[in-house]
A and B are shown apart, each in its own frame.
Chain A
């Protein structure tokens, strides 16, 4: 390993490390200024801001691109280096407008900060500045291309990480512009990350344009609940309003990326909100107080046997409310409860049967992958970026059973019939040998494969394949279920499932339609067929005036994931806790408190009064941010496979839940990018 000296401090680093990385490995690290260099992107070396002096080299060198050598003596802050940086900065500022006071990047701008730290105090440029035409990057990204310093981070991100190469550097020299390919939209589900990557104000947050200054915002570190990955996020709020959501670094899950829905659906938190109770009177929902609403529910529940009461939990229900509701249902004597509103044929008996066992980070170590009934690009774009990252390293065979679409990497399309899975599981398909011969084979089973009548049979086939092809071995479990709902794994872990003799979601709907179930609690469940509930008395606990609230007889307003400290278990089985960034609107309350108060009104007070007591009632809550190993066992139920194509459970990435359906930004995305595959790499006749 080469040993070098940086600013008089000796360090030994691995061969191939660059000078810039070596400087960061020092303790305390030396930070070398940079614009184009980003540790997760390819090295470009074109901004020249990271110049350092290396003894015996005639000119300053770009430290981001220069590998270390034995005995190098590097100076990162002598007079020559300072002069070089000042010169680079002067060149960068030649064509950069001085519009910081009206620029949304102001206050969190790399160029601004580094101009202060490393620039000169005046420019000598008296000629005309150039102006660049702004580009249309769609409803999420505001462009101001005159501000662009051509670091090419956006070009590299969209090509390498997002896998939708639509951006490029057009023309040359003085006329160089970053632009998009004609007629191609910046439609990647990860496009919001361009805003974070842009070191200047060329690409900014369009929905939030001109609404905030960076220094006014309160920052709350939290966890995303818009999909089942549980990405680390930072909620920036002002007053009682969420202004924007940014990703935080979490190398176990999202690295530092975030999907566009998680980032941009936040305007949905302000629209269509339920901020008070409602009771249906003469067919109309009329505002009511909490005691009135509780009284109406109590009047209905009075004398009703438990067998006529049911509960269905939605996709964003937190673990606290699921546990509280489960206990309430138990005290009411009902076994009819289900957290699988999509009807996924998963049960809670084998924990490994419903987890993403390889872990999100672990998928990068897989060497063969079979995707069944899932479109990871739509269901978990950040995970899809991981799969693409693994694909780019090479030696990774991917096959897919399901609807054909662009996943940003190449795969073998094995058709969309579940019978193919049975073929592979039985060892009669060539891809069986690919999995068998791989050292870390994996399968991703989507909800599209499980939420159907033959879901249990597909699960059984997948489990058989896992055993036969050696997907589970020492230190590796390649059996992965990809969830799309933040609430699902938590619900399965807590056993929010039909008890003995209890009905599942379909059963509850059927029974309600026949009048066998008279009282239905919907904990944020909006994606079920409301008409099927017949004449049942529906109590809806939720955040938005969505399908559930429209059907409800009593509406109880609760808090969204940004408005409470709540626990969610992600698709890998990792319990994580959100933090309260803003308060729930109006009279809305945290979900578990509503259920606790309701239990009093129903005369069955639950045995906890604080969230601490509630969390003490299940071990899940004490194991935050860690993965509990799940033992593997056969799962699913053998049965006939339907001759019905496997499709992804997510049709429109931009609208999957009450928050994103209420979001104007997401509606614009749906209009711009369409609900289909969203891919412009290979255009079809309907594009443009």
Chain B
């Protein structure tokens, strides 16, 4: 557990408090503790990480011992136990991504952002994390920036995505090599007449 305690107090914003009440209401009376994970997520979306102040606030809201909330926070790696930058860049280095060149993605990210694994850039914009499989193996290698997946990366496209983020732009999410979702590279090989939504196959 991080000893960083720069967050001395926490409270949901009025909108999030409404949302929290709706989440709690999904569970039967007396089983409000089941809402601990969505509420932690909500808090993390509000302030970026799940600090001790967040843990105590949610523990009190759900009538739980703070240690029970802390157990949840430390069990799941997706709850940030330290502050992260505006963009949390999570590069998958598991087997599929590794075989498809995640080393290059990681190295490029380090160079472009000027940080090592687990560090936050001095301007507080980017935090770079090495993570386990994010379930996008078919589009390996990939990285997740906040809620968005950037897939089929090469060192160059990684650089392009991160530079665009640096400029404050929002690069197109999904495969960066022109591929349609998880369809075969170079276009579909079967069901070629089907179209998906507004996009042409």
Contact A168 B75 (CB under 8 A): no
Complex interface residues of chain B between 113 and 130 (CB less than 8 A to chain A) = none
CA gap between A169 and B65 in the complex, in Å? 13
A166 within 8 Å of B by Cβ?
Answer: yes
Chain A residue at minimum C-beta to C-beta distance from B65: A165
Contacts of A681 in B (CB 8 A): 65
Chain B residue at minimum C-beta to C-beta distance from A173: B75
- The stretch of B33-41, B66-74, B98-106 that contacts the partner chain: B66-74
A172 within 8 Å of B by Cβ?
Answer: yes
Residue interface bits B167-185, CB-to-A below 8 A is 1, else 0 = 0000000000000000000
Contact A170 B66 (CB under 8 A): no
Contacts of B70 in A (CB 8 A): 168, 170, 181-182
Q: Can you identify 29 A-B contacts, CB atoms within 8 angstroms? A: A159-B65, A165-B65, A165-B67, A166-B65, A166-B67, A167-B67, A168-B67, A168-B68, A168-B70, A168-B71, A169-B71, A170-B1, A170-B70, A170-B74, A171-B75, A172-B74, A172-B75, A179-B1, A181-B65, A181-B66, A181-B67, A181-B70, A182-B1, A182-B3, A182-B70, A183-B52, A184-B66, A184-B67, A681-B65
Shortest CB–CB separation between residue A209 and chain B, in angstroms?
26
CA gap between A171 and B65 in the complex, in Å? 17
CA gap between A171 and B66 in the complex, in Å? 15
Chain B residue at minimum C-beta to C-beta distance from A179: B1
Given A170-B1, A182-B1, A182-B52 in contact, is the A165-B74 Cβ separation under 8 Å? no
Chain A residue at minimum C-beta to C-beta distance from B2: A182
Complex interface residues of chain A between 175 and 193 (CB less than 8 A to chain B) = 179-184
Contacts of B3 in A (CB 8 A): 182
Contact A170 B65 (CB under 8 A): no
Name B's A-contacting residues (CB within 8 A).
Answer: 1, 3, 52, 65-68, 70-71, 74-75
CA gap between A65 and B66 in the complex, in Å? 28
Residue interface bits A191-205, CB-to-B below 8 A is 1, else 0 = 000000000000000
CA gap between A165 and B67 in the complex, in Å? 7
Shortest CB–CB separation between residue B37 and chain A, in angstroms?
14
CA gap between A681 and B67 in the complex, in Å? 10
Looking at chain A, what size class is its interface with the partner chain? 10 to 19
Query: Which one of A170, A182, A183, A184 lies within 8 Å of B71 (CB-CB)?
Result: A170
Complex interface residues of chain A between 242 and 264 (CB less than 8 A to chain B) = none
Contact B68 A165 (CB under 8 A): yes
CA gap between A542 and B1 in the complex, in Å? 51
CA gap between A166 and B70 in the complex, in Å? 10
What 4 A-B pairs come out closest when comparing CB atoms? Answer: A165-B65, A168-B67, A181-B67, A170-B74
Contacts of A172 in B (CB 8 A): 74-75
CA gap between A179 and B1 in the complex, in Å? 10
CA gap between A169 and B75 in the complex, in Å? 9
Beyond A165-B68, A180-B67, A181-B67: 10 further Cβ-contacts under 8 Å?
A159-B65, A165-B67, A166-B65, A166-B67, A168-B70, A169-B71, A181-B65, A182-B52, A182-B70, A184-B66
Chain B contact residues: over half helix, strand or loop, or mixed?
A: helix
- Among B1, B3, B52, B66, the most chain A Cβ lie within 10 Å of the Cβ of B66
Shortest CB–CB separation between residue B137 and chain A, in angstroms?
21
Residue interface bits A139-182, CB-to-B below 8 A is 1, else 0 = 00000000000000000000100000111111110000001111
Shortest CB–CB separation between residue B86 and chain A, in angstroms?
27
CA gap between A167 and B70 in the complex, in Å? 10
Contacts of B66 in A (CB 8 A): 181, 184
Contacts of B71 in A (CB 8 A): 168-170
CA gap between A181 and B73 in the complex, in Å? 12
Contacts of A181 in B (CB 8 A): 65-67, 70
Shortest CB–CB separation between residue A201 and chain B, in angstroms?
23
Chain B residue at minimum C-beta to C-beta distance from A172: B75
CA gap between A159 and B74 in the complex, in Å? 19
CA gap between A135 and B131 in the complex, in Å? 28
CA gap between A179 and B29 in the complex, in Å? 30
CA gap between A184 and B59 in the complex, in Å? 14
Contacts of A167 in B (CB 8 A): 67
Contacts of A183 in B (CB 8 A): 52
Contact A171 B74 (CB under 8 A): yes
Contacts of A180 in B (CB 8 A): 67
Shortest CB–CB separation between residue A65 and chain B, in angstroms?
21
CA gap between A98 and B70 in the complex, in Å? 31
Chain A residue at minimum C-beta to C-beta distance from B52: A182
CA gap between A166 and B67 in the complex, in Å? 6
Contacts of B75 in A (CB 8 A): 171-172
Contacts of B68 in A (CB 8 A): 165, 168
Contacts of B52 in A (CB 8 A): 182-183
CA gap between A603 and B40 in the complex, in Å? 80
CA gap between A96 and B54 in the complex, in Å? 35
Chain B residue at minimum C-beta to C-beta distance from A159: B65
CA gap between A167 and B1 in the complex, in Å? 14
Contacts of A166 in B (CB 8 A): 65, 67
Chain A residue at minimum C-beta to C-beta distance from B66: A181
Shortest CB–CB separation between residue A424 and chain B, in angstroms?
28
CA gap between A168 and B74 in the complex, in Å? 11
Shortest CB–CB separation between residue A173 and chain B, in angstroms?
9
Shortest CB–CB separation between residue A481 and chain B, in angstroms?
33
Shortest CB–CB separation between residue B53 and chain A, in angstroms?
11
Shortest CB–CB separation between residue A135 and chain B, in angstroms?
12
Chain B residue at minimum C-beta to C-beta distance from A163: B65
Chain B residue at minimum C-beta to C-beta distance from A183: B52
Shortest CB–CB separation between residue B94 and chain A, in angstroms?
16
CA gap between A92 and B70 in the complex, in Å? 25
Residue interface bits A579-601, CB-to-B below 8 A is 1, else 0 = 00000000000000000000000
Chain A residue at minimum C-beta to C-beta distance from B71: A168
Shortest CB–CB separation between residue A546 and chain B, in angstroms?
39
Chain B residue at minimum C-beta to C-beta distance from A682: B60
CA gap between A181 and B66 in the complex, in Å? 7
Chain A residue at minimum C-beta to C-beta distance from B75: A172
Chain B residue at minimum C-beta to C-beta distance from A171: B74
Shortest CB–CB separation between residue B57 and chain A, in angstroms?
13
Contacts of B67 in A (CB 8 A): 165-168, 180-181, 184
CA gap between A318 and B109 in the complex, in Å? 77
CA gap between A517 and B1 in the complex, in Å? 65
Contacts of B65 in A (CB 8 A): 159, 165-166, 181, 681
Shortest CB–CB separation between residue A661 and chain B, in angstroms?
33
Contacts of A165 in B (CB 8 A): 65, 67-68
Complex interface residues of chain A between 545 and 600 (CB less than 8 A to chain B) = none
Shortest CB–CB separation between residue B51 and chain A, in angstroms?
11
CA gap between A166 and B69 in the complex, in Å? 11
CA gap between A183 and B75 in the complex, in Å? 20
Chain A residue at minimum C-beta to C-beta distance from B5: A182
- Among B3, B52, B65, the most chain A Cβ lie within 10 Å of the Cβ of B65
Chain B residue at minimum C-beta to C-beta distance from A155: B67
Contacts of A159 in B (CB 8 A): 65
CA gap between A601 and B70 in the complex, in Å? 68
Shortest CB–CB separation between residue B61 and chain A, in angstroms?
14
CA gap between A159 and B70 in the complex, in Å? 15
Contacts of B74 in A (CB 8 A): 170-172
Shortest CB–CB separation between residue B62 and chain A, in angstroms?
13
Shortest CB–CB separation between residue B55 and chain A, in angstroms?
9
Chain A residue at minimum C-beta to C-beta distance from B64: A165
Shortest CB–CB separation between residue A598 and chain B, in angstroms?
56
Contacts of A182 in B (CB 8 A): 1, 3, 52, 70
CA gap between A168 and B68 in the complex, in Å? 7
- Among A168, A171, A179, the most chain B Cβ lie within 10 Å of the Cβ of A168
CA gap between A384 and B185 in the complex, in Å? 69
